[in-house]
Amino acid sequence: MASAFRFDSLNRAQREAVGALDGPVMILAGAGTGKTRTVTCRIAHMLEKKIPAAEILAVTFTNKAASEMRERIAGMVSKKAAAEMTVCTFHSLCVRLLRAGIERLGYKKNFAICSYSDQVGLMKQLLVRKGGSDTKVKAEAVLAAISKVKNLGKDPAEELQDDYFRLLAAAYSNELRAQNAVDFDDLLVLAWRMLEGNGDLRDQFRGTWCRVTVDEFQDTNALQMRLLRQLVGPPHHVCVVGDDDQSIYGWRGAEIANILEFERFFPDPKVIRLEENYRSTQAILHTANSLIRHNRGRREKILRATKAGGTKVRVVAMPGDAEEAEFVAEEILAARSRPDRKWEDFAVLFRTNIQSRTLELAFRERNIPYRVVGVQSFYDRREVRDILAYLQLLASPESDIPLLRVLNAPSRGIGQATAVLATDWSREHHGSVWQALCDPVFTATVGAKARAAIESFIATIGSARDRIVIAKQPPADVLDGLIRDIDYLSWLERGCKTDGEREQRREGVRLVIDSLRDHHAKGKTLQSFLDDSALASERDDDLEKQQGATLITLHASKGLEFPIVYLVGLEEGFLPHSRSVADGTKDEERRLLYVGITRAQQELTMTWCASRVKWGEQTSCTPSSFIAELDTEHLEISSYDDILGAEADADDLAEFFGSLKESLDRLP
């Protein structure tokens, strides 16, 4: 076979990794160090060394990543060899394993795999069956709790703390078993149990796949490590590729100990560090290195730039989040005027979903095309659509679509069957659904409970509408009062799985009310606010298909790169997140910032705000403690008041960091 690549096209560490084919190997691939090229060249080298393609297994986390790896390998070897290799996700691998032996666990070979919607539907049935139709427990919350325990390799029916959840977990498991069905978590759990309990099957698969590669190893959880250990026996021809400095998914079960303690699982591995970075400038990498070295227990590595120099990394102090968004938008607008720049060169990274809202507004005002990645656009969030629907009712109750959206949100005893009857009635009488609900002839056709609920709903909306139309009260005040009267927030929060989600939902509601208040203060009408919101929602529907600057969460940015990056919101409570201190996850927050910094290829600007609007009030903020950890050699400190200001001198830097460290020392 002709060589699929040239060894002299690789750097020293890459050549070492490609040539290390035997025994356990761990490739610590720093950000931007050519990880994917190294992995694909290593697999191609296996084929050159006459290792049969059918004996090669490569596992990663997403279908997209598996597809890209498969395509790259196919471009380097014969199509026949590429087809004979197994390149797949963990879940796809488990399906293949279970099809070969799930009967050993009491299932039939033709088991079904439940989609998430199937799981929710089944759990809703169990909730009614076990707790009654008026249960407040959400199916999604139970499934999330079950999933978390399963991915620890434990039985939810025994390990869940809540008695009711344990009951539901047992019933859920029994129902799936009765239907010869499994969910996605079961694929991992059952594959591991099958191999652990059946030595002949374990040996069969160890003989099938003699060379195993695992990509993005820092993202594996405890159960995936157990599965890997069953698949790989002596002489342990396994290669894991990852970067502990980019382990940012602990909140969803990723176990950083898998990469930090790899020697405990596979003895005497060869550890190879890829440290030559082909993405970012020296200034950016020096800043990233100075941050991540503060993490404890990490595997030491230092990214080295192949691009010398570079403009300094800017840290800009902002008075507030509105000014922050305006600053970023204006800078992008100005930089885009250069003939060698396109909108896609720019990315704005942020820690929490809610931060996208002010940025979106600033971009819209300046007609900057953009796309949102890793977060729903503000105007497409459930709570925002609900609140806007209520506002549309206050403006015009004759609109059927918003009325039907919130007719039973929050739950008030007007079920789907009643909504269908009202819709049919309105069509037959050539009127609106609102008119049907107000017509006593129609309400006489429904049950007493539904009739009482309809009358209460009509009275509530009518009263609120009168306060706007007749009493001329500010729409924002009326909307705020209506939300409280119907107890919308309590109902909304009951469907949230985490404190973070509850906070995000509440903040979304508050932002709509605050935006309406600002709109009214400018002398604009309620209808113009609704028109603007409708147009915004219409644009958002197609955001993923648009080109433009990128607004993206830090978590979603992993694996991506952009010429010019703005990293906003570097304040205590945002980054590091307020929960990280209590949860003991500040090191992971530092890794998250490290990931953000290393997304930048040419220019990086980081901002923090002295105050930020939260819950409708201006709240004071302090700069992130991470800023004080950055080496000042390649930093330029400036403020909003001196936005075009010259680079700060050494005395300015010393004064800034000295005062910053003093203020951080006083934090509780």
Q: How far apart are CA 504 and CA 574, in angstroms?
A: 13
Side-chain half-sphere CA neighbours of 571 within 13 A: 23
41 to 6, 172, 306: CA distances (angstroms): 9, 45, 21
Annotated catalytic residue within 599, 601, 603, 605: 599
Q: Report the amino acid identity of residue 138.
A: K
Side-chain half-sphere CA neighbours of 148 within 13 A: 15
Annotated catalytic residue within 183, 185, 186, 216: 216
599 is catalytic: yes
35 is catalytic: yes
Annotated catalytic residue within 14, 35, 86, 412: 35
246 is catalytic: yes
User: What is the three-state SS of 409-436?
Assistant: CCCCCCCHHHHHHHHHHHHHCCCCHHHH
Q: At what angle do helices 222-231 and 199-208 cross, to 10 degrees?
A: 80
652 is catalytic: no
Q: How far apart are CA 105 and CA 666, in angstroms?
A: 58
Q: How far apart are CA 254 and CA 635, in angstroms?
A: 33
| Sequence-ordered list of residues with C-beta below 8 angstroms from that of 624, at least 6 positions apart, any chain | 570, 571, 572, 574, 575, 576, 593, 608
351 is catalytic: no
Our CA dihedral for 374, 120, 409, 448, rounded to 10 degrees, sits at 170
**First CA to last CA distance, the chain:** 64
Phi, psi of 242 (to 5 degrees): 180, -170
Q: Pick from 373, 280, 275: which is nearest to 600 by CA?
A: 280
Q: Pick from 114, 49, 108: which is nearest to 77 by CA?
A: 49
Q: How far apart are CA 13 and CA 35, in angstroms?
A: 11
268 is catalytic: no
Tell me, rounded to whole angstroms, the distance of Cα 41 from its chain centroid.
31
Do residues 590 and 551 make contact, with C-beta atoms less than 8 angstroms apart? Answer: no
Annotated catalytic residue within 15, 16, 36, 524: 36
Q: Would you tell me how many other CB atoms lie within 10 Å of the CB of residue 82?
A: 20
DSSP 656: H
DSSP labels, 84-111: HSEEEEHHHHHHHHHHHHGGGGT--TT-
Annotated catalytic residue within 40, 246, 392, 553: 246
Q: How far apart are CA 599 and CA 281, in angstroms?
A: 11
Do residues 17 and 54 make contact, with C-beta atoms less than 8 angstroms apart? Answer: no
Q: How far apart are CA 488 and CA 408, in angstroms?
A: 11
Q: What angle do CA 647, 648, 652 make, to 5 degrees?
A: 180
Annotated catalytic residue within 215, 360, 572, 603: 215
Q: How far apart are CA 639 and CA 620, in angstroms?
A: 17
Q: Would you tell me how many other CB atoms lie within 10 Å of the CB of residue 528?
A: 13
Burial 181-194, CB ≥16 within 10 A → b, else e: bbbbbbbbbbbbbb
Do residues 539 and 647 make contact, with C-beta atoms less than 8 angstroms apart? Answer: no
Q: How far apart are CA 428 and CA 11, in angstroms?
A: 75
Q: Pick from 2, 1, 44, 36: which is nearest to 19 by CA?
A: 44
Q: What angle do CA 15, 16, 18 make, to 5 degrees?
A: 65
Q: Mind telling me the catalytic residues?
A: 35-36, 215-216, 246, 599
